[in-house]
Amino acid sequence: MIGLQGLGKSYGARALFENVTLSLSEGRRYGLVGANGSGKTTLLKILAGDEAASDGTFTVPKGTRVGVLRQDRFVSDDERIVDVAMMGDEVVFAALRDQERFHTEGNADGAAELEERIRVLGGYTLESRAGAVLAGLGIEARLHKERLGVLSGGFKLRVLLAQVLLGRPDFLLLDEPTNHLDILSIRWLEKFLVAFAGCAVVISHDQRFLDNVATHILDVDYETVTEYTGNFSRFLIQKAETRERKEAAITRQEEIIAHKREFVDRFGAKATKARQAQSRLKQIEKIEVEELKNTSRRAPRLRFVPKRQSGKDVLVADLVSKAYGDKRVLTNVDLTVRRGERVGVIGANGLGKSTLLRILVGRLEADSGEATWGHEAHVGYFPQDHHEILTEPDKTVLDTLWEKCPLEGTAFVRGQLGLALFSGDDVHKKVGSLSGGEAARLLFATISVTKPNVLVLDEPTNHLDLEAIHALAEALKAFEGTVLFVSHDRWFVSEVATRIVEVKENGIVDFPGSYAEYLERCGDDHLDREVVLKKAKQQNTAPPPKVETKSSEREREEQKLKQRRLKSAKEKRERVTREIDATEARIKQIRDKYVEPTFFTTTATSELRRLAEEEQKLAARAQELMLDWETLELEVEELSVSLGERA
């Protein structure tokens, strides 16, 4: 168990988070989420020992093996790919290297002494295990003994990820591990992490990945870190409900204060009511109204409005082919895109998805074939590499956008930047100093002001936080033009695409429907277990009969016990809910009496005292009931999830 006690991190006057006290347990997978710049990566660096906390401490049990995906780690391009992966198991890899050296030097005794140690540590299977992990991450077996230098930057990061996973860590820290993975590799990583027995903390902006992997969510917001039980979708619900409850509690407390203040204001000057007024003032002083901090999450307000409509046939690609040396990535691609379609281009990395988009927008020449844009088609292009468009690093954000709409005034340009979350002095930042997320938002702003009717987007979600990804999805669904985009974010593809084009080694598969419909039609989906099960039910197929064992009997009894507990918890929750309603209704009756014009002049002092005491008791009881309700609600949710039922 990893313990965090009062952990805090500040940069000058700015606090990222403070007073964080958590216990990270074995067998749990924590999704670390928060807005860009909120402190997620900083917290991960503190846990990895790469950065010091400003306050508090954290403890890692002695002997714990920590695996960290450091994307900026230097590795020699001359090392073999499989060797780089094997380096993750430092002890075994060093022993294998020593054994190899002893054999070279003719030191038979030294080599023999190491042999037993290597065997006990599983060293003779290390290379095969490395090969399996590399293959799972999409690096072909034929490349495993090649130099690391033959791979692109994205694939080198996959090798580093393989290295971390092969280190047999007890505590795993991964910062955006899916950034350079395709859909197949992401699914493989999901399966690996679900089977991982240790404790994992993973930063990701891929909502489907977090839903499939996380057992808990660590939310960096409100200048602290809050733990939630469940995956990302469940976290969103819990966080919203928690905020609503707190706001409702504050509203109730403010109403109580207002009623008491009204009494003081009306009767404080009257001698007969002075004691009661003073009593209420003391009561007001004792009521602590929680001050809710503002969330660090901000979503850009993205909007794409075409200047004019394009023709019906927006794009025709005819027999487009492209090769890089001996590697052919596109072969005779035929593609026709019509107005209003949102085409999601998917497929494994290295098969030519980005190449296809670059050919279509005229930034790369095809070896053969051609792509023709239709009548009045005006294209807005978002490249995977932002530097392809943002070519002047010394230019400010303000000047970069103004250049795209030179006839507009300052207010308009600043307004557009404000929608993309650039405000105040942010507009004077140099383009070269922008983070990936900032550069992406600036690109969307430049596209927006040029008012294209066709959007061609290559991995638009790569550097965006979850709020920006949701905002982009909504903007694209509202866009009245045509969209052609490449993405490995399954949630995003599911939300946006109305047509799927999958690029494969032998050509493309063009499917006129949503991503979910495409997966259902495939029949052999290896990405989404739920779709496979759904198709199996539709085809009236059933899994092979299970052999009853003591274990399955025990599981059945546990399920029955959980069902009884769930029924009991729901009944208790219903009773508590009714009592809360009755209690709050009675409190309202009492407070309604307080505001009747003649109430305090016609009501006996003893009755006033009795009502005040009753109100206090009811308010205390209401708080107790809310705590009981929250406990029961959590129990119902947990049992419902484990039983596969709705809460």
Q: What gap in Å lies between CA 487 and CA 605, rounded to an integer?
A: 72
Q: What is the pLDDT of residue 545?
A: 37
Using 70 as the pLDDT threshold, list the residues of the chain that sit under it.
71-75, 267-275, 523-555, 627, 629-630, 633-634, 637-638, 641-647
At residue 569, the 3 state secondary structure works out as helix
| Domain range 2-236, CATH architecture | 3-Layer(aba) Sandwich (3.40)
| Domain range 559-643, CATH architecture | Orthogonal Bundle (1.10)
Asked if 267 and 277 touch (Cβ cutoff 8 Å), the reply is: yes
Q: What is the pLDDT of residue 538?
A: 47
- Give the strand order in the sheet containing 482-486: 379-382, 454-458, 482-486, 342-346, 499-504, 507-511
Same fold, 313-511 and 559-643: no
Q: What is the pLDDT of residue 294?
A: 80
Q: What is the dihedral of CA 422, 428, 431, 436, to 10 degrees?
A: -30
Q: What is the pLDDT of residue 71?
A: 56
* Whether pTM exceeds 0.85: no
Asked if 437 and 465 touch (Cβ cutoff 8 Å), the reply is: yes
Q: Look at strands 482-486 and 454-458 and give their pairing.
A: parallel
CA 243, 247, 252, 253 dihedral sign is positive
Q: What is the pLDDT of residue 349?
A: 80
Q: What is the pLDDT of residue 74?
A: 60
Domain borders along the chain are 2-236, 237-286, 313-511, 559-643
Q: What is the pLDDT of residue 6?
A: 93
Return the residue matching tokens 């219903």.
Answer: 574
Alpha helices in 166-288 (DSSP H): 183-195, 207-213, 232-267, 274-286
- Name residue 17's amino acid: F
- CATH hierarchy code of domain 313-511: 3.40.50.300
CA 182, 188, 194, 199 dihedral sign is negative
Q: What is the pLDDT of residue 555?
A: 67
Distances (CA, A) of 50 to 46, 66, 69, 84: 6, 12, 12, 22
Length of the chain: 647
Question: DSSP letter at 199?
Answer: E
Count other C-beta atoms under 10 Å from residue 602's C-beta.
9
Secondary element (H or E) of residue 9: strand 2-11
Count other C-beta atoms under 10 Å from residue 644's C-beta.
7
